[in-house]
Structures are given as C-alpha cells and as structure tokens.
Amino acid sequence: MSRVARIALNRVSLRFPGPTAGSPDNQVLSDVSLALADGEFVCLLGSSGCGKSSILNLLAGFERPDQGELRLDGRPIYGPGPERGMVFQQPTLFPWLSVRDNVTFGPRMAGQSADRYQADADRFLRLVGLQDFASHFPWQLSGGMRQRAALARAWLPKPEILLMDEPFGALDAQTRLAMQELLTHIWQTTRTTILFVTHDVDEALFLADRVLIMSASPGTIREELQLPFERPRSLEDLVTDPDYGQLKRSILHVVREEVAKSLNSVIA
C-alpha cells in the first residue's frame, strides 16, 4: 500500500482463557496483520467465530492483544478514543430517549453546548432520512430506522475511523440494500475510513474497496482482494458484471473451505 496506514494491526495474536479451569486457552487470533489507508472502505469477511468482532474490539481499544501491536497514525493504541466510532449489529439505542437525544447523546455527555452539534445532528438526521422522526422513540421505529439512527449517532462526533460489526445483519434483504446504499453515500460525502465486518459475500462485494477474507479459528487473514468495481455502484450493474460472478465464486470457495474446517474442529 503506497499511502500511510491510518489504522493497523501488526502481527497480532489474541487468546482467551478456556471455558473451565484447566481447559486449554482459546486461541482466537494468530499473527493477524492488516492496515487501512485514509478514506479506504475495507470489508472483513469470515465465518462465525473466526475472530472478526475481536479484531474490531482490539482496534476500538476494548481489548488488548497478547502479542503484536495496534497503531493509529503510527502511534500505539492503548484504549478507546473519539476518533474511532463503533456500530454494532444491534442498534443499542436508549429506549427512553428520542431519536434526536440518542443521536446527540455523545456530545451532550461530553458537555458540549447544543449550538455546537445541533446543525450537524440535523444534517445527519436528514442524511439517514429520519428528519421527520427526530421526536420519535426507538420503539416507534422499524429495525432499519433504528439502525439508521445508530448510524447518525456514530457519525455525529465525526469519527475518522468507523468500525462496523455486521450492522445490517439483522435486517431484511431490501432494507439491507437500502442501508448499504445509504452507507456508501455517507462514506463518499465524509470519506471516513471504514472497517466493516460481514459474513455476507454480496455485501462485501457491494461495499468494499478491498476485501480481507479470514481463516477459521484461530483467525488469520487468508486472502486479500482489491475490487475492480467503479463507484457509485448499483446492484443491478454489479450482478451482471462478469468480474462479480468470478470474484463471488472464488470468495465462496474460500469461505466454504474455512466453514468446513471450523465444523470439523467442532465435531472432532
């Protein structure tokens, strides 16, 4: 990669204690290296349990590695920071707060005065199409709308890096596509650096500049693919592109091999 990495893991390993006293440790990640350039959109693809969330938790500063190092703009990462935002699979909104109060929760807790963030809150509420729902409460929203509110909340503090953990995994197919289009639109406006975790090959091919495919437990980066598709992308154009079929086929092959390995290790 020619540009300087914004955020990187270098030769990182992570293990957790086994489930019972005396049982062997669970080696979750083994010698993982990855780096994101400024403004890059990278998808991390892998089967369930291979350590995708663990990689995000390390980069977010919620976990510490056993070996290796984590860097942000060349400096070591020791803990969470406001330049890194996280979006989870479940939108985790406060049920007793309105959409606007949820979206502005971070700056309000940081003691900022309303005139510093209200204009941005309006802008992000508009961008995610919730301007008419600002006074609604989470229970009055659909799943997709809740996730849109969570997106606006994550973007409001203007993170330089967004870590997204299967954020659309619980949505139906149509809503998911609408959210993917919305996400790429906001990303193209803000040029935030994004690491997006998914187990969905089509989602990775639609969103990413580059796809990293993980091996099954212990997780490593098994393959890396630079995607040739231009932006803005439309799903209709993409699925009829011969490169798309070819890439999907080879990714599915790798993912299937890794799922088989993890199933074998569970059965063995």
Q: Which parts of this chain interact with ligand ADP (CB under 6 A)?
A: 16, 26, 28, 46, 48-54
Taking CB within 5 to 8 Å according to partner kind, which of ligand ADP, Mg ion, none is near residue 146?
none
Q: Which residues contact 17 (CB under 8 A, 6 or more apart)?
A: 25, 26
Q: Which stretch binds Mg ion (CB under 5 A): 49-57, 155-163, 171-179, 213-221?
A: 49-57
Of 37-45, 48-56, 178-186, 219-227, which segment contacts Mg ion by CB under 5 A?
48-56
Contact 18, 131 (CB under 8 A): no
CB of residue 254 vs Mg ion: minimum separation in angstroms?
19
Three-state secondary structure call for residue 139: helix
The one of ligand ADP, Mg ion, none whose footprint includes residue 49, by CB under 5 to 8 A per kind, is: ligand ADP
By the rule CB under 5 A, 198 interacts with Mg ion: no
> Which residues make Cβ contacts (< 8 Å) with residue 167, sequence separation at least 6?
87, 88, 89, 147, 150, 151, 179, 196
Closer of 18 and 82 to ligand ADP (Cβ): 18
Per the CB < 8 A criterion, the answer to whether 201 and 255 are in contact is yes
Q: Does 217 bind Mg ion (CB under 5 A)?
A: no
Closer residue to Mg ion, CB minimum distance, 30 or 98: 30
Note whether 53 binds Mg ion by CB under 5 A. yes
Length reported for the chain: 268
Least spacing, CB of residue 165 vs Mg ion, in Å = 6
CB-side exposure of 143: number of CA atoms within 13 Å? 13
The three-point CA angle 248-250-253 to 5° equals: 105
Q: What is the DSSP letter of 219?
A: B
Question: How many residues at the interface with Mg ion, by CB under 5 A?
Answer: 1
Given ligand ADP, Mg ion, none, residue 85, with its beta carbon under 5 to 8 Å by kind, binds none
**Least Cβ distance, residue 211 to ligand ADP (angstroms):** 15
Check: CB of residue 14 under 8 Å from CB of residue 59: no
Residue 54 or 104: the one with the smaller Cβ distance to ligand ADP is: 54
Q: Nearest distance from residue 255's CB to ligand ADP, in Å? A: 12
101: left (phi over 0), alpha (psi -120 to 50) or beta: alpha
- Which chain residues interact with Mg ion by CB under 5 A? 53
